[in-house]
Amino acid sequence: MFQNVKYYPGDPILGLMEQYKQDSRSQKVNLGVGVYYDDTGHVPVLECVKTVESQMVEKHLPHEYLPMEGFPGYRQACQKLLFGSEHEAIKTNRIATIASLGGSGALRIGAEFIHQWFPQAKTYVSDPTWGNHISIFEGAGIEVHKYPYYDPETIGIKFTELKQFFLQLEAGSIILLHPCCHNPTGIDPTHQQWDEILDIIQQKQLIPFMDIAYQGFGDDIDTDTYAIRKAVDMGLCIYVSNSFSKNLSMYGERVGGLSIVCPTAEEARLVQSQLKFTIRRLYSNPPAYGGNVVDRVMNNSQLFQQWEQEVYIMRDRIRAMRSRLYEVLQAKIPERDFSYFIKQRGMFSFTGLSPQQVNRLKKEFGVYLVENGRMCMAGLNTSNIEYVANAMAEVLK
Ligand code: PLP
Ligand code: TYF
């Protein structure tokens, strides 16, 4: 009966994690999946999260259904984080926001909405992008294409080509952008480049879909939203998907949000109702546990401040690992320029290693990177960094 069902081989990044788990060598390093590990190699439970978890256990909160769109406090918290607490668009109620099952869920609900109400719209993603962007949008029935982004020659952005590409797109096309900490390259546009990109988007009537999964890991929580806030200030209508997986270290609790900035409060009301309808037909309402944690951390000023500090500790540890890797590799192979390791931002670095070199790292050294050469800097720590740098120097020889 099911013999014609096609086998799904799995997600390459998550598959790599499985391979890593099964590797019996004691000296092995996981630099594949985009997860933040602390200096002891563990996924941290943030102190602000521990505090509210203790409160929740003590109270024995009943396991009630949540509203389809999530807790009001959760949705307000998403808006304040993304747009700034005093933003005119928030005050005039022109943003529709729902809680979602992680950033992935936000992307999917957004894509469903686009497919339903703008069925002709094609979506353009950076070349390269997070593989799931393509799967999620195609899964919602949307045609996906790539725009020029990464330039292996300069280890930068193909900025002129990107602009020329956007200039010839049809009005109403959706442009998927990473406001900070680009996955997989770690290379972000400068503020001036964002201004230029957004000018073209406005001029050509393109629609930005900003996916922010690493807020706080680039510069800081506010500065990382530069492109989002600038777009809204320019009067653009935008989609924003955000994730708390990384910056609250709540990966498995599936906490994220989708916001759609509309021209008027009345349009936001219509959009909000359709997002709820989509949710109802897909999973009815979001999980309460993560929703409660986010709501309680983000809406208590003391816990919020603590959270900010904890995000910056994660950010700074990654930066320290970047510097150390740069120092060791630069000393070992002085004729090559490794400064890109310190220029790239967020969790990821495109190392420029070939698939063969990545394979050698895995086979000979038990060092796991994604095949495209992407390395998760947050898997490095003071105990494994020299080992990794030596292994990389060896395969680069
Ligand atoms: N968008 C990007 C660019 C990501 O790297 C991730 C990574 O996990 C997500 C979205 C989705 O995050 P979540 O785990 O919250 O679904
Ligand atoms: O890019 C990453 O590694 C993270 C985690 O299907 C991830 O975004 C990877 C693959 C996937 C879901 C999450």
Q: What percent of the chain has pLDDT over 90?
A: 97
Residue 81: its pLDDT value, please? 98
Q: Are 89 and 83 in contact (CB under 8 A)?
A: yes
Annotated active-site residue 50? The verdict is no
pLDDT in tens, 16-28: 999 999 999 999 9
In this predicted structure, the answer to whether residue 121 has a pLDDT above a threshold of 90 is: yes
Average pLDDT for 200-227: 98
Catalytic residue among 130, 188, 194, 362: 130
CA of 183 to the centre of ligand 2 (A): 9
**Ligand 1 within 6 A of 129 CB?**
no
Instruction: Name the closest-CA residue to atom 1, ligand 1.
Output: 213
Within 6 Å (CB) of ligand 2, which residues are found? Answer: 11, 13-14, 33-34, 130, 132, 183
Domain coordinates in residue numbering, the chain = 12-45+315-396, 65-299
Helix 47-59 vs helix 288-298: angle between axes, to the nearest 10 degrees? 120
Average pLDDT for 303-319: 98
Ligand 2 pocket test, candidate residues 14, 16, 18, 33, most atoms within 8 A of CB? 33
Q: Are 318 and 344 in contact (CB under 8 A)?
A: no
Structure tokens at 278: 């989509």
Annotated active-site residue 246? The verdict is yes
**Ligand 1 within 6 A of 256 CB?**
yes
Q: Which of 9-18, 120-129, 265-274 has the lowest mean pLDDT?
A: 9-18
CATH of domain 65-299: 3.40.640.10
pLDDT in tens, 62-120: 999 999 999 999 999 999 999 999 899 999 999 999 999 999 999 999 999 999 999 99
CA distance 175 to 146: 9
pLDDT in tens, 318-377: 999 999 999 999 999 999 999 999 999 999 999 989 999 999 999 999 999 999 999 999
Give me the phi and psi of 245, to 5 degrees please. -55, -50
Average pLDDT of the chain to the nearest whole number: 97
The strand pair at 374-376 and 348-350 is best described as: antiparallel
CA of 361 to the centre of ligand 2 (A): 21
In this predicted structure, the answer to whether residue 397 has a pLDDT above a threshold of 90 is: no
Structure tokens at 129: 């992008």
CA of 165 to the centre of ligand 1 (A): 26
CATH of domain 12-45+315-396: 3.90.1150.10
CA of 252 to the centre of ligand 1 (A): 12
In this predicted structure, the answer to whether residue 238 has a pLDDT above a threshold of 90 is: yes
Nearest bound ligand to the CA of residue 258: 1
Quick one: which of 278, 260, 215 has its CA closest to 81? 215
CA of 243 to the centre of ligand 1 (A): 7
Catalytic residue among 224, 246, 295, 362: 246
In this predicted structure, the answer to whether residue 187 has a pLDDT above a threshold of 90 is: yes
* Residue written as token pair 């049809």: 170
Quick one: which of 232, 180, 233, 184 has its CA closest to 211? 180
